[in-house]
Amino acid sequence: MALRVYLNGEIVDDDKAFISASDGGLLHSIGLFETVRVYGGVVFRLDEHIARMMRSAERLDLTLRQSADDIRQAAAAVIEANELRDGRMRITVTRGPVGVDAEDLRSTLLVTCAGEVGYPPAYYEKGMSVAIAAARVNPADLIAGHKTLNYWPRLLTLQAARQQHCGEALWLTIDNRLAEGCISNVFLVTDGRVRTPALDTPVLAGVTRAAVLECCEADDIPVAETALGRDDLNAAEEVFLTNSLMEVMPVVLVDRRTVGNGKPGQTTQRVAQLFHALVAKETAR
C-alpha cells in the first residue's frame, strides 16, 4: 500500500505529492524540518517540535501561513491515513514559490511518515563508535542551531563517519568547543555528573535533549548545560547521544579512543530507562 502524505491541505499518495518547481525549499534550501517519533499512534512531544520550528521560522524570517494547530492536524491526518502505530514522521515547511510578494506567500507544508524506525539493537547493547568531524561549527553561521533544509554538510560528514564504521560524528566549533553530532546531541558523564554543551555553543535545542535533562533532574542525577572541550570529551567516563529516533544511545569509542571500560555505562543505562518511562507515560492512551 502506498504511503499517504499531507501536502498543503490534502492527503495524497506519496508518489502524487508535487511541489512547485519555483519552491524556495527546492531552489534555495529555504525551509525547516522536524523529525518526530510516533509511539502507539501518538507523537512524542509534538508541541515542543512545532514550537522549535516556529521559533526558528521567526528567527530566520521565514513567513509561515500555517499555524501550530494546522501542523498538529496535518500530523494527525497522516497517522490516521497510514494507520501508523509506531514509526517516524517528518514535518517540512518551506518558503513556497519564490518571486512572490510577501503578502501573497504560500508556504509549503509537507508531512510524511515511515514505519521503519530505530537503530540496530547491538548499538544499545554494546555501544556505538563515533568519529570526530573534520568540519567545524561556526557560531557566526546564521543557521547554526536551527534545523534547516541545508543538511548536506551534516550528511556528508555522517557518510564519512560510516565509512570509518562509525554511527555518528561529533562536531567541534571553530574555537574548539564540543558542539553536537551530525544528527544528535551529545552528553558526557564524569563522576556521576551529566553534562551537555549549552545551547549558545551553538547546538540544536533537541527535544529529546530537553527530555533527558528533565529526567536527570527528576531523578536527582547531577546535570548541567555548560561549555565543554575536547579534553572533557577525552576524560569522560561515559558518553551518550540523543535524538528522536535513537532516543538514548551509548557511545563506547570516540575517534578510536575507548570511553570508560568500553561498555555502556550505568548512568547512561539509567537515563535510558528514565527516558523510556517518560515516553510511555506521555504517549499512553
Q: What is the pLDDT of residue 117?
A: 85
Q: Where is the domain boundary, 114, 144, 165?
A: 114
Check residue 100 and give its pLDDT. 73
Asked whether 244 and 116 are in contact (CB, 8 A), the reply is no
146: nearest Cα among 93, 99, 71, 69: 93
Average pLDDT over the chain, rounded to an integer: 96
Please give the Cα distance from 40 to 25 (Å, whole number). Answer: 31
Instruction: Tell me the percentage of the chain whose pLDDT exceeds 90.
Output: 94
Q: What angle do CA 223, 131, 53 make, to 5 degrees?
A: 60
Whether pLDDT at 173 is above 70 = yes
Pairing between β-strand 223-226 and β-strand 193-197 as defined by DSSP bridges: parallel
Quick one: 136 and 92 in the same domain?
no
Query: What CA–CA distance (Å, rounded) separates 149 from 28?
Result: 9
Helix (H) or strand (E) holding 251: strand 247-254
Three-state DSSP at 115 gives coil
Query: Which of 90, 114, 138 corresponds to the end of one domain?
Result: 114
Q: For position 103, what pLDDT does the model report?
A: 67
Tens digit of pLDDT for each residue in 38-83?
999 999 999 999 999 999 999 999 999 999 999 999 999 999 999 9
Task: Tell me the C-alpha distance between 215 and 156, whole Å.
Answer: 33
Measured CA to CA in angstroms, residue 213 lies from 200, 219, 221 at distances of 16, 10, 9
Residue with cell 499518495: 13
- Contact assessment for residue 145 and residue 198, using Cβ atoms and an 8 Å cutoff: no
Q: Alpha helices, DSSP H only, in 29-136?
A: 46-59, 68-82, 121-126
Give the residue among 160, 223, 162 at the shortest CA–CA distance from 193.
223
CA distance 2 to 186: 36
Q: What is the CATH number of the domain that holds 151?
A: 3.20.10.10
62/146 same-domain check: no
Q: Both 183 and 63 in a single domain?
A: no
- 129 and 267 belong to one structural domain: yes
Q: What percent of the chain has pLDDT over 70?
A: 98
Q: Which domain holds residue 58?
A: 4-114
Asked whether residue 108 falls in the same domain as residue 165, the answer is no
How many domains are contained in the chain? 2
Please indicate, yes or no, whether residues 90 and 168 belong to a single structural domain of this protein. no
Euclidean distance between CA atoms 49 and 204, whole angstroms = 12
**Which pTM was predicted?**
0.96
Last residue of a domain, one of 114, 145, 171: 114
Examine the pLDDT at 105 and tell me if it is beyond 80: no
Instruction: Please determine, for residue 102, whether its predicted confidence score (pLDDT) is greater than 70.
Output: no
pLDDT in tens, 212-266: 999 999 999 999 999 999 999 999 999 999 999 999 999 999 999 999 999 999 9
On whether both 263 and 160 belong to a single domain, the answer is yes
Does 110 share its domain with 125? no
Residues 109 and 125 in one domain: no
**Is the domain of 86 the same as that of 161?**
no
Looking at the structure, tell me whether residues 14 and 62 fall in a common domain. Answer: yes
Cell of 159: 557518510
Residue 124 scores a pLDDT above 80: yes
- The CATH number of the domain where 107 resides is what? 3.30.470.10
Task: Pull the grid cell for residue 75.
Answer: 500530523
The pLDDT score that the predictor gives to residue 106 is 84
Q: Are 175 and 144 in contact (CB under 8 A)?
A: no
Q: Are 143 and 61 contacting, i.e. CB atoms less than 8 angstroms apart?
A: no
The 8-class DSSP code of residue 102 comes to: G
**126 and 109 part of one domain:** no
